[in-house]
Every structure is written in structure tokens, then in C-alpha cells.
Structure 1
Amino acid sequence: MLLTLLIFFLQLLAGAWVARAETAPLLIRHALGQEQQAKVLTYEQAVLRLLLDKTIPSHGPYQLQPSAVVSQSRAFLQLASGELDVVSSMSTSSRESQGIPIRVCLYRGLLGVRLPISLSSRSERFESVSSLAQAQAFKLAQVADWPDTQILHANGWHVERIPRLSTFPEMLKRERIDLFALGAIEVFPIVDALPELIVLEHWLIAYPSAYYFFVNSKKPELAQRLRQGWDLVLADGSFAALFEQWVGPQLARAKLAERRWLVLRNPELPAETPVQDSRLWHPLVRSRLLRAVGEH
């Protein structure tokens, strides 16, 4: 009798342990390009949470664990080594070989639409730009391991390579560079906090780009979960609502349609980029950047 009760009790414990294991949150270690502090909810983290929340009924609970802030190059090394599960970045063929790309652009192609930043005291000189050749006469800086640096260089621009984003304000103030360019959806919150700097109003630099989540190659089930999440949020409108909430105010302020577009080619854009899927791109990106790509 005691033996029977003991066996029954052990079976109960085993069943409870299995049940807990089945419902244990999936740990997802991530390094998102936008985030600087783990306690601050960023747009990219909000998108990741949206995809994962939508798939809880099919895939179960999850827990996000941000990494320390690292460079993009370092994040991809950690992804390839298995130290990270998800990173976010502008896509290149090289980066698509280091992880599984989830080919839906978080920024609808707008991160390749770059607004130039200058010293306020020098802005009048730079606002007069009317051609790509004129713009290329000025010294532009970009972060060394950003894909944008290679794109600008491939288009004949003299690019001053800097080690990190925080370097550019002082270089502008010392006039070691003339301009720095950031995405239309990120530039204003950064420049608003930097006295003496201004976002130019009359022109921009633009090239086709895609900014994805990349998943550890050993986690194909996580990649599939994110793809399923994208299918759901594109269909039910929840991504469009989130995008408008977070990015809409920046776009309104950028007045992209009123600017002169200096369009560059992007030799780093992978051939697999889904340029024909109209659901994934902002209308201005479709009409001014991707039409020519899709024709080739």
C-alpha cells in the first residue's frame, strides 16, 4: 500500500514538472539596433513583442532578455556563435549568411531615406544643394560598421568612418565633417537633444534598404514563429497601427514628399529582398526607390 502511494505521489510530481516545463516561457536573447537601455521600450522591441504576443496561442509564452549594448558587427558575431537569438539590422548579403533573415522590413524601407544633419550656423550653405554631385562635394560621416557606409562609398561619396554614433556631433561642431545622415524615422529625437545642430529641410539621400529581424541559424522554430507573427499582424492591421503610433509623428515632421530626393543605388541589397510585395513598403519607398529595383 505504501509503495503504491509512493509511486502515485512520484507520478503526480513528474506530471507537475512536465506541465511546468511545457508552459515555461521561451527565453529569447536579443540585441536590437535601436535600443540603448534594457528598461526602455523601443519601437523595435515593441514590434518584436507584437509578433511574439500574436503567436502565444500557437507557440506559448516567452521572455525577452536584452544583451549589453554592442556594435552591429559584434551582435552578428554573437548571433552566429549562438550567444544571441535575435538581432535587428539593415540587411546585406553578408548579414543574411550569418543568421536567418525574417524578410519584412520593420521600417517599411524608410531607414534608407536619410536626412542630412549639419551645424545650424552652416546650414544655409548646405541647403542650396540641388544635385548629387553638389552633395558629394561635402564631407559626410557614417558609423564604420553600418551598411550605409559601404552604400555611400559605392556611390562615390567620400565617407569619414567613425567608430560609434555618439561621435558625430562633436565632429560637426569642430567642422571635421560637413554632414551626417540619419534615417527619416530616427533623426529628430536625436538631433532635438543636440544644441547647435539642425536637420536640413530641402533635400535628402535615399537608397533601397530593408531592415529585418535576424534569427540564430540554430533556432529555425523561432524564425518560423516570427514569420507567422508577421503574417498575422500584416493581415489584422496591428502592425500598421503600431507603425503609425511610433513612426507617424517623425514622418509628418520630415515632410519627405516636399524634399529633393538624391537617389543612390544599393549594391548591398540582397537579391531575395521582396521588393514586389506592396504590403511591406511605404508608398514613397515603392514609387521612388523600389520600382527601378523590381524592373531589373
Structure 2
Amino acid sequence: MKFSECHKYFHRISKLIVAVSVAFGCVSPVFSSEAVIRYFPSGTIYEYRWKLLELALAHTNDMAKPLQLVPFTENVTQNRGISLLEAGDIDVIALGTNAEREAQLLPIKIDILRGIVGFRLLVIRAADQERITQMDDISLRKQLMFGLNSQWADLPIMRANGFSVVTSSDYENLFVMLAANRFDAFPRGLNEARRELDERKQNYPQLAIEKSKALYFPYPVYFWVNKNNVALAKRIELGLNRSLADGSFRKLFESYHAAEITALKKEKRKVILLDNTILPAGNAKPDTSWWWPKSKY
């Protein structure tokens, strides 16, 4: 049996054990989730999201048993991850919102990234720094080709705002394509760009972060669970609200993004504001005040 198959088998057996235990009164039916919570996506740029979930769950241990967080480590696309959440093989995902996801899944509508992922720096070829610095808003749209993952929710936002975009379903391949002149700029969140380049500087020494511009669109990121897992959703929501109230949420956010917040304060970037054309009704725009005061836009 493959490693991934073993994980799935264990996960389903765990569910069965919990269900039987609840039925016979061995455990409380309140928040009757598995002892193991499998999450997606995983990787270094997502570490903060799962530390925040860990913090939120710890804030509810007074009313429910502790839950162990385990990454779902198979290399799957976002769409596949969503399908696995619906099937019960993943318990929690952390992604941006759109109408399709809100129809399929149950979001906990507390923006876990405070809008920071909607502030996009441009990863480019270093040789293009001067050329792009000279461009205005119109030139960016007319002269540059951008690259994005075909399954990311920000793809239609970029296109609706007049940007030309080529796509790949493989995240890592986008760095290959940029280095090979297949497109000109790879927009990455303020919390992502520098870390991603640092991890790949040996393979792509010709890539750099553009110094003069940034894009911004309101883009809340939520934790999501299966539509039937209302108990887990309520537990996460309660834990996030408690961590907001005692300041530990903000403290964690600032500890993970201190370098980016400091750099942003020193830089003089022209920020191009975009409309989020896919933000469903009922979603508040992110409060960026922890890292980017509202007076800036």
C-alpha cells in the first residue's frame, strides 16, 4: 500500500472510531471532529496559516478535546484539494474566496491574512527592472505579459482589470516560464514574494522583485471546511474570535510578517488599485491596518 493510501485509510478509520464513540457515549458530541485534522495547502509560505489555526484551536481546548494538525502532503492542485475536502480526505483548507468556493464549501469568514496577500509585488527578470520602472498603469497592461496559476482565484481579477495573463496549472513551472521569457511578471503576495525567491535563488539567480510598483485588490483568505462539518467551523470561528480579543492573533501575524511590514514602510512604491470582480456579496473588504494603513489607498 502506498504512503498516501495508508494516510487515507487511517483517516477514514479515525472517522469511524469517532462516530462509534459518539454513538455509544464515549466522547462528547460537541465538536465531534477527528483527533487528527488534515490541512491543505502545506509548505513554508503557508506556515503562518496553520500556526494560526493551531492557535485558534488551542483557544477552544477548554470546551473540546485538542486536535492534532497534520499536513496533506500529496502534490495536488487547488481544485483537487477542494474535491478532497468535499470527499472528507482533507479537513481544512485556507484559500481566497469566490462564489464557486462559497457554494461548495463552508467558509469561516474571518480574514486570516488581513488582506496582505492582495498586495502584489511583481517577480520579474532582474534585467527588466529599468524597463518596468518607466512604465505607467496603461503600459503595464499593454506591454507586459503576466503569469498565474490557472486555478488561482486571482486569475479572473487580473484579466477583468485589463492585464494579459498566461497560465500554468503547475506553480513551480511558473518560475521556469518566467526565467525562460515566456512572460514578464509573476504577481505574488507581499507575504510570499521574497520568501519564494529566497528559496529559489540558486536555481533562478536572474529573477528579482520589481522595485517601483505594486498591485492591490481586496482579497480575503479564509479557513474552509466541508459543508457538513458545522461543528468544526464553529470551533475555528470561536477560536479565531478569542485570539483576536486577547491580541494573540495580531501578535502571531506581526511576528510572521515583520520583515515585509518593515520593508513596505521604507519603500516608495506606486500602488495600482484593482477591483476584485469576484468578491461575493456579504464579504467584508480586508482591514489592512495592521500592516498598511487605510490612508494609503
* Coarse TM-score class (shorter-chain normalised): 0.7 to 0.9
Contact 1:82 1:218 in 2 (8 A): no
Matching residue's letter, 1:91: T
Change (3 A) 1:198 1:245: same
Residue 230 (structure 2) aligned to one of 205, 208, 220: 220
What's the offset of the Cα at 1:20? Answer: 6.9
Match of 2:175 in 1: 169
Alignment of 1:239-254 (within 5 A): 239-254=249-264
Contact 2:37 2:67 in 1 (8 A): no
Matched, 1:58 2:58: no
Contact 1:151 1:266 in 2 (8 A): yes
What's the offset of the Cα at 1:22? Answer: 5.4
Q: Which has the larger radius of gyration?
A: 1
What's the offset of the Cα at 1:198? Answer: 0.6
Counterparts of 2:26 and 2:129, CA distance in 1: 61
Counterparts of 2:293 and 2:184, CA distance in 1: 27
What's the offset of the Cα at 1:41? Answer: 8.3
Change (3 A) 1:135 1:28: farther
Residue 140 (structure 2) aligned to one of 96, 120, 135: 135
What's the offset of the Cα at 1:282? Answer: 4.0
Matching residue's letter, 2:43: Q
Counterparts of 2:145 and 2:161, CA distance in 1: 14
Residue 46 (structure 1) aligned to one of 46, 51, 55: 51
Matched, 1:31 2:39: yes
3-state secondary structure, aligned to 1:232: helix
Counterparts of 1:110 and 1:153, CA distance in 2: 20
Compare 194-203 and 165-174 and name the one that shifted more: 165-174
Structure 2: gaps (5+ residues): 1-23
Report which of the two has the higher share of helix. 1
Residue 107 (structure 2) aligned to one of 101, 109, 114: 101
Counterparts of 2:177 and 2:256, CA distance in 1: 30
Contact 2:33 2:231 in 1 (8 A): no
Change (3 A) 1:269 1:281: farther
| Deviation digits for residues 205-253 of structure 1 (CA, Å, limit 9, x no counterpart) | 1111100100111110000001100110000000111011111212222
Alignment of 1:111-150 (within 5 A): 111-131=117-137, 133-136=138-141, 137-150=143-156
Equivalent pairs, count: 267
Match of 1:259 in 2: 269
Contact 1:105 1:281 in 2 (8 A): no
3-state secondary structure, aligned to 2:222: strand
Once the two structures are aligned, what percentage of the paired residues are identical? 27
Match of 1:79 in 2: 85
Change (3 A) 1:257 1:268: farther
Contact 2:261 2:291 in 1 (8 A): no
What's the offset of the Cα at 1:257? Answer: 6.6
Structure 1: gaps (5+ residues): 1-17, 290-296
3-state secondary structure, aligned to 1:118: strand
Residue 189 (structure 2) aligned to one of 180, 183, 196: 183
Counterparts of 2:151 and 2:278, CA distance in 1: 13
Normalised by the size of structure 2, how large is the TM-score? 0.82
Normalised by the size of structure 1, how large is the TM-score? 0.82
Contact 2:77 2:169 in 1 (8 A): no
Change (3 A) 1:95 1:174: same
Contact 1:25 1:63 in 2 (8 A): no
Change (3 A) 1:66 1:92: same
| Deviation digits for residues 229-280 of structure 1 (CA, Å, limit 9, x no counterpart) | 01100000001110111112122224487211111111111111123x85x7
Match of 2:17 in 1: none
Change (3 A) 1:285 1:141: farther
What's the offset of the Cα at 1:101? Answer: 0.7
Counterparts of 1:282 and 1:256, CA distance in 2: 16
